[in-house]
Amino acid sequence: MSPLLKDKRIRIITGYYGSGKTEFALQYSLQLAKHQQPVYLADLDIINVYFRSREKERFLNSRGIEILGNILGSDIIQDIPHVSANIYKPLHNHDDPMIIDLAGSEVGVNILALIKKYLTQDNYDMFCIINVFREETKDAEHIIDSIQALQKKSGLRITGLINNANLIHETTMEHIEQGNRILTEVEEAMNIPIRYVMIPSRLLKNITNPIKGDQLVMSQIIMREKWQ
């Protein structure tokens, strides 16, 4: 059984801004859609106007993923923070998997107030994406502060850490191992498990030391064009 099927029905994706939330949400949705369809992916990033999951709508639709978020269409032509009522569809039904891609940092979780009444301990997981090569989450102390801020602001518990240690195309196995070391400290201090590790497929052959978390293998980075 895919480890993704063990997660709760609603998966909330949070983390410091620039940690790779959208990339995780997309990679996770694509993996999950291999087992369950439709997968609802709610783009609740009302802060950023660039690099949003709804930019990839056509590609995702073809793979059984439905994007929720903006009735104005997927073009980011509107500099308007706007959320569509269609995000309630998978909250009202109790069967289909839903992935919620938030904006970064504490301000990004504000929007959860809209849907909090639908969340119970039994129906959601909240994953915190962490890239230890971002200045604001470079060590356990900073990460713990940031997780506490996210939990306080949202009133929800983070249920899993995601090791997304990376320098985009320059990522090596050593970088991922460094993420593993730092997140292990956080795991022990906060009693929150490392649930997934994001790993480029080209590095699979280089794994020599144990890395915590189920592997979310990326054959490509979805949110970047080749020339980026």
Partner 1 sequence: MTKKLMKGAEVIGASAIAAGCKHFFGYPITPQNEVPEYMSKEMPKIGGVYVQAESEVAAVNMIYGAAGTGTRVMTSSSSPGIALMQEGLSYIAGSEVPCVIVSVSRGGPGLGGILPSQSDYYQATRGGGNGDYFMPVYAPANLQEMSELMQKAFDIADQYRTPAMVLADGMLAQMMEPVEIKPYDSKNIDKSSWATTGTKGKRKPNIINSLRIKADALEEHNRHLNEKYCTIRDNEKDYEAYQTEQAEVIVTAYGSASRVVRNAIDNLRDEGLKVGMIRPITLWPFPDNAFDELPDTVKAVLSAELSCGQMIDDIRIAARGRWPVDFYGRTGGNIFSSEEIEEKVRAMLKGVISNAR
Q: What residues line the site for partner 1 (CB under 8 A)? A: 18, 48-51, 76-77, 79, 131, 133-135, 138, 166-168, 170, 226-228
* Closest listed residue to residue 96, CA positions, set 27, 29, 170: 29
Q: What angle do CA 47, 51, 54 make, to 5 degrees?
A: 85
Q: What angle do CA 74, 75, 79 make, to 5 degrees?
A: 110
Q: How far apart are CA 57 and CA 75, in angstroms?
A: 10
CB of 219 to partner 1, least distance (A): 19
CB of 87 to partner 1, least distance (A): 23
CB of 16 to partner 1, least distance (A): 11
CB of 22 to partner 1, least distance (A): 11
CB of 169 to partner 1, least distance (A): 8
Q: How far apart are CA 128 and CA 112, in angstroms?
A: 15
* Closest listed residue to residue 124, CA positions, set 163, 155, 146, 83: 155
If the CB atoms of residues 98 and 197 are measured against partner 1, the closer one turns out to be: 197
| Largest Cα span, the chain | 48
If the CB atoms of residues 51 and 88 are measured against partner 1, the closer one turns out to be: 51
The length of the chain is: 228
Are 62 and 69 in contact by the 8 Å Cβ rule? The answer is no
CB of 222 to partner 1, least distance (A): 14
Pairing verdict, β 10-15 and 65-68: unpaired
Give just the sign of the alpha carbon dihedral 99, 100, 106, 111.
Answer: negative
Q: How far apart are CA 124 and CA 174, in angstroms?
A: 32
